Amino acid sequence: MDFRGEGTLNEYKIRGYGARDMRIYDFGWADGERGWGKGGKSPMRFQMHATDPEKLEPLLGMRHSKGCVRIPSTLNTFFDHRGILDAQYEARAAEGESMWILKPHRETTAWAGHYLVVDTARQTRPAWSPSPGAAARAKTPVGADTVD
């Protein structure tokens, strides 16, 4: 089940799941390549979520996660409000089941889906997605690569 962020600060004074009420999309367990420690593969909880709006959101596009897909809070809000990944939740709600994760005033799309597709074959960044510049990198908080 998906859940919502509490907006609490961790030991590094960072809100790893973003501001309060941001949606955390939980896709379950997946085998993933560890980019830290001894490397190798291991089962990981695969999630997509916003991140700290002040400290980490300006750094999106840099490697700062142990496997989650971090997205801007604006995209998180858009997905949540439009129900982009909520086909199963909407079907259960239509059957009368209470789905607390769904906000009452959402405007869902008729094309809501079930899956997130991640393209892992690309070896370089697309031109439309430049990496954060030196100014953003200089503001990287201590421990930012281990906040989630």
> Is residue 141 in some structural domain?
no
> Is residue 137 in some structural domain?
no
| Structural domains in the chain (count) | 1
> Which residues span the domain enclosing 39?
3-121
Q: What is the pTM of this model?
A: 0.81
Dump pLDDT digits (tens) for 59-117: 887 766 667 888 999 999 999 999 999 999 999 999 999 999 999 999 999 999 987 77
Q: What is the dihedral of CA 27, 98, 86, 91, to 10 degrees?
A: 110
> Is residue 60 in some structural domain?
yes
String of DSSP letters for 75-95: HHHHHHHHTTT-HHHHHHHHT
